[in-house]
Chains A and B, each alone.
Chain A
């Protein structure tokens, strides 16, 4: 396939771009294989020749067109939730632009995506890909205890296609046991170590559901693997992220959950968490409600309620708290799983670590956590983030489970403003980059796929960009001080808030809040050159290398 075949009209003059809250801009619109560009021309507000819009076409979630006589209007609804309007003179041009954008944005082949073409001069390929190797995490554990070992049983991805090459398992269990246990777990995701709690030596494991099936199968090796985790008379908890009912019903399809009789030292707790389509629908409903600024108070509250988003936030946070509580208070080991073990499971294990472990609350620690618990652990980003809240496409496997995680982390940051080293801006950047990015970090569904596509050889890592000193500065929380304690959040509905910085980012002006934030930054760092913008609006999807002034600072639309 050639991109050129998809581009019917490459350039249109006199296109007007408007975005709520910003003055309209007139300019020349160009389509390249991966970008939509608009450079201003005389008569527009901007300076001539300035690139005012630099939009990654992958970021476009939905294209809506309206034609009236010779003027066509295209509404581009982006995956990062912003909405742009282009007024294009000429019906044919308009239709061409719309269909080209649509075609280019829905190219599904990973190898055709922009990260494989993006070559910034200031960065070297390979940098950033080896920042957070699992070996490194293992060494930290090994310095505390010898009860765990690094196993390369999955070295060629044959045991489990969604696990990384190396996993951490009990030292007393050999690879043959693991191979057999893997056959008893959906997708081969046998129990592996997710987190070692240094304070009391308890661990958190994660896996997929056991394949109990209608005949109540058992697997000695799986039982052995799990009991190897517990010392002597210790007992552990299994947190199943499905309801007891759903877990039981899964047996019909060959799944199920650990029965008491075969795992006598493990106590099962069921905490149903939503995932898949209901979660995606919740996201869509919430975004819809946020976009309608004319809603009356009653309608707004009822839409906010019926979206159920905040209920999902509460559910995720309280389940993570439960996991953390089991480890910190009950001093017990835990195993977390749902069905496939790639969605709600990771949500709970990752969140619990942010709550428990101060190291995960640093900028590098958080990146390491994402790398370990989401990317390497095989969260299928490619499927889950194919479309965002605006898409008209038939939903397949989309679900904003990672966004829900980011929202929960934001809630933690909101309740403990000094305890996270990074700020809201980082969470927003992560949200954007999971849906559309010029970096390879969130491409594909698993390490296996990334290997096949040679992602690490042919694309840049998001981390190497983020960790450049100039970028790093934007993502640091000036109020941060190391807090060794566990941060127990309040999960009362009165304490949970809508993440306005994300859901209302393109809808309301945040000028005064940004200024206040800059003032806090100034007060705390007491330096005059405190960065002015925090989570400002920019119409150009992160394009760190471009030589143009890319940001359009949002002027107040509410006065």
Chain B
């Protein structure tokens, strides 16, 4: 277990066999130890407590992780995802949108990236003025541009409107965004918070846009709860799912009480609203919450995912995370508790995003190039601190930490392993034909994500995985087809010489045989080609060391604890 993965260590009351120690991990692994001597247990407890909460960034794994890769390859890795390229793909800069240099040295907003895209008609004073009227200086900027509809998704933080304050530049800024969409006369402003929360913020001099002050805006609350509600919701969820000998009814009522699926549904509903506004109404949408780095990131990224098939590819998904999460300053360090800090800053906002994506993959099994394992692996490394990408809270901080010089980028490693993350059912045509994904969000579509929250409880997983089987099969198919083609080519070569000598008849006689040959790469039931080993029967964990391929016939309805003896002593580990 990586120290960084430890979320909590708990020492339970002494028992006859020893002192129980429970470690809860951020990747939802729960490990129980029984340490024979209480003193040892106490020492382990203290050491883990310290090790799991490093005080400064340079203690993080990323700074010592060395995969023995040469320097140029390491640097290349950091260049794998290029956001300028991504904006070019969307079609900006163009006649309506341009790259702004206003934040080139982080002078107006230190949690934004250096490069920001804004409407051409927004002058620098408007930008600066608007940023002063927005919480943390996070003024409205472009997040996604829909080339066909010429509509945009923009993001910002809440305005400092209090009860009555106005800001002309901010009003101009929104107007500029609105007219950057030539087809449209109004734009949506989505406040992703519940109305009550937004109103409470007014007392603190913050708040939301007054429809009367802004020309042609349609204001909309969405009602996604804040990070604190989400944190305690997940905690409740984990308490329920961690209960031993859980009955169906207490599971379902616990699931309900945690509110977790309600929150996931709220986030997805917001993303659908956003995507429909763009795709159906051709409208530009400005999204914000309080600071514009949690709920805003969720809604903008999920909305883009619904709109643009590119983000449903492996590379596109990396770009999406890089853009809406990393570059726009989602506070990964604080939210994941990478350093010893304020526990109230920790919140599973990014996990919820991944879960939203998972729910989409469940409803559209053919629309995504990547599979569940891909999402789980990303989740694993957002918390592992093994790579530099998710360290720190914003781009400025990352530059100061010199991450690109001292650490490795996660993306090339993920890409190297991409075979593991391919969805064998992915259909590129399907994805393009379907411009907008419109998921059904009736409540019954939302399920508990067992493979995330019980990643390591293999007793709960389906004992055979269709995905893995199909993957193996299609890979073998490809290989066989390749072999077949090679053989065919060889045959042709051999045949070439005597070709003139042969009459047409024997040549034709080769043909009827070929369909039969062609079917040979297919898998018939009786063919013992399927490697029916446990590795394709069980869902893979995130890394092979964790993957305890089970002989499922050993397991009973009641899971028996796996007994592992450690090198020292007789500690029993039950997972």
Once bound together, how far apart are the Cα atoms of A388 and B251, in whole Å? 28
Of all chain B residues, which has the CB nearest A313?
B248
Of all chain B residues, which has the CB nearest A489?
B557
**A residues 485-524 touching B (CB-CB < 8 Å):** 485-498, 500, 504, 508-509, 512-513, 515-516, 519-520, 523-524
Q: What is the CB-to-nearest-CB distance from B266 to chain A, in angstroms, rounded to a whole number?
A: 9
B514 interface hit (Cβ, 8 Å): no
Once bound together, how far apart are the Cα atoms of A509 and B530, in whole Å? 33
B91 interface hit (Cβ, 8 Å): no
Which of B262, B444, B463 contacts A298 (CB under 8 A)? B262
**B residues 401-445 touching A (CB-CB < 8 Å):** 424-425, 427, 430, 436, 438-440, 442-445
A419 interface hit (Cβ, 8 Å): yes
Q: What is the CB-to-nearest-CB distance from B273 to chain A, in angstroms, rounded to a whole number?
A: 14
B316 interface hit (Cβ, 8 Å): no
A353 interface hit (Cβ, 8 Å): no
Once bound together, how far apart are the Cα atoms of A488 and B558, in whole Å? 10
| Contact A492-B459, Cβ < 8 Å, known A297-B265, A305-B252, A558-B439 | yes
A481:B525 contact, CB within 8 angstroms: yes
Given the complex, which residues of B lie within 8 Å of A559, measured CB to CB?
436, 438
B519 interface hit (Cβ, 8 Å): yes
B253:A494 contact, CB within 8 angstroms: no
Which of A302, A311, A490, A519 contacts B248 (CB under 8 A)? A311
Q: What is the CB-to-nearest-CB distance from B395 to chain A, in angstroms, rounded to a whole number?
A: 36
B55 interface hit (Cβ, 8 Å): no
Given the complex, which residues of A lie within 8 Å of B246, measured CB to CB?
492-494
A297:B261 contact, CB within 8 angstroms: yes
Given the complex, which residues of B lie within 8 Å of A487, measured CB to CB?
463, 552
Given the complex, which residues of A lie within 8 Å of B537, measured CB to CB?
418
Once bound together, how far apart are the Cα atoms of A490 and B447, in whole Å? 17
Which of A308, A418, A494, A513 contacts B249 (CB under 8 A)? A308
| Contact A300-B444, Cβ < 8 Å, known A480-B525, A512-B366, A524-B473 | yes
B548 interface hit (Cβ, 8 Å): no
Binds B, one of A177-185, A288-296, A444-452: A288-296
The 0/1 profile, CB within 8 Å of A marked 1, for residues 234-273 of chain B is 0000000100001111011101100101100100000000
Once bound together, how far apart are the Cα atoms of A422 and B564, in whole Å? 39
| Contact A296-B262, Cβ < 8 Å, known A418-B469, A494-B454 | yes
A161 interface hit (Cβ, 8 Å): no
A290:B557 contact, CB within 8 angstroms: no
Which of B253, B469, B521, B557 contacts A302 (CB under 8 A)? B253
Given the complex, which residues of A lie within 8 Å of B221, measured CB to CB?
none
Given the complex, which residues of B lie within 8 Å of A109, measured CB to CB?
none
Q: Which of A297, A310, A498 has the most CB of B within 10 A?
A: A297
- How many residues of chain A have a CB within 8 Å of chain B? 64
**B residues 499-558 touching A (CB-CB < 8 Å):** 519, 521-523, 525, 530, 532, 537, 552-553, 555-557
Which of B247, B255, B438, B459 contacts A558 (CB under 8 A)? B438
Q: Which of B251, B446, B450, B459 has the most CB of A within 10 A?
A: B251
A296:B248 contact, CB within 8 angstroms: no
Q: What is the CB-to-nearest-CB distance from B566 to chain A, in angstroms, rounded to a whole number?
A: 27
Once bound together, how far apart are the Cα atoms of A145 and B466, in whole Å? 39
Of all chain A residues, which has the CB nearest B532?
A481
B351 interface hit (Cβ, 8 Å): no
B460 interface hit (Cβ, 8 Å): yes
Given the complex, which residues of B lie within 8 Å of A494, measured CB to CB?
241, 246, 251, 448, 450, 453-454, 460
| Contact A516-B557, Cβ < 8 Å, known A418-B469, A508-B440, A524-B523 | no
Binds B, one of A46-54, A200-208, A314-322, A547-555: A314-322
A305:B249 contact, CB within 8 angstroms: yes
Of all chain B residues, which has the CB nearest A321?
B557
Q: What is the CB-to-nearest-CB distance from B205 to chain A, in angstroms, rounded to a whole number?
A: 34
Given the complex, which residues of A lie within 8 Å of B222, measured CB to CB?
none
Once bound together, how far apart are the Cα atoms of A509 and B427, in whole Å? 19
Binds B, one of A95-103, A337-345, A390-398, A409-417: A409-417
A417:B466 contact, CB within 8 angstroms: yes
Q: What is the CB-to-nearest-CB distance from A282 to chain B, in angstroms, rounded to a whole number?
A: 12
A305:B253 contact, CB within 8 angstroms: yes
B523:A516 contact, CB within 8 angstroms: no
Q: What is the CB-to-nearest-CB distance from A530 to chain B, in angstroms, rounded to a whole number?
A: 11
Given the complex, which residues of B lie within 8 Å of A520, measured CB to CB?
425, 466, 470
B474 interface hit (Cβ, 8 Å): yes
Given the complex, which residues of A lie within 8 Å of B469, measured CB to CB?
418, 479
A171 interface hit (Cβ, 8 Å): no
User: Given contacts A494-B246, A525-B523, A526-B521, could you give 14 more A-B pairs where the C-beta distance is less than 8 Å?
Assistant: A298-B256, A298-B262, A301-B253, A325-B557, A329-B556, A417-B464, A417-B466, A418-B532, A479-B469, A480-B525, A485-B552, A495-B450, A520-B470, A523-B470
Closest A-B pairs by Cβ, 9 of them: A526-B522, A300-B443, A559-B438, A493-B251, A516-B365, A305-B252, A301-B256, A297-B262, A321-B557
12 pairs from A and B in contact (CB 8 Å cutoff): A293-B444, A297-B265, A297-B446, A301-B255, A415-B463, A494-B453, A498-B444, A509-B440, A516-B365, A519-B427, A526-B519, A558-B439
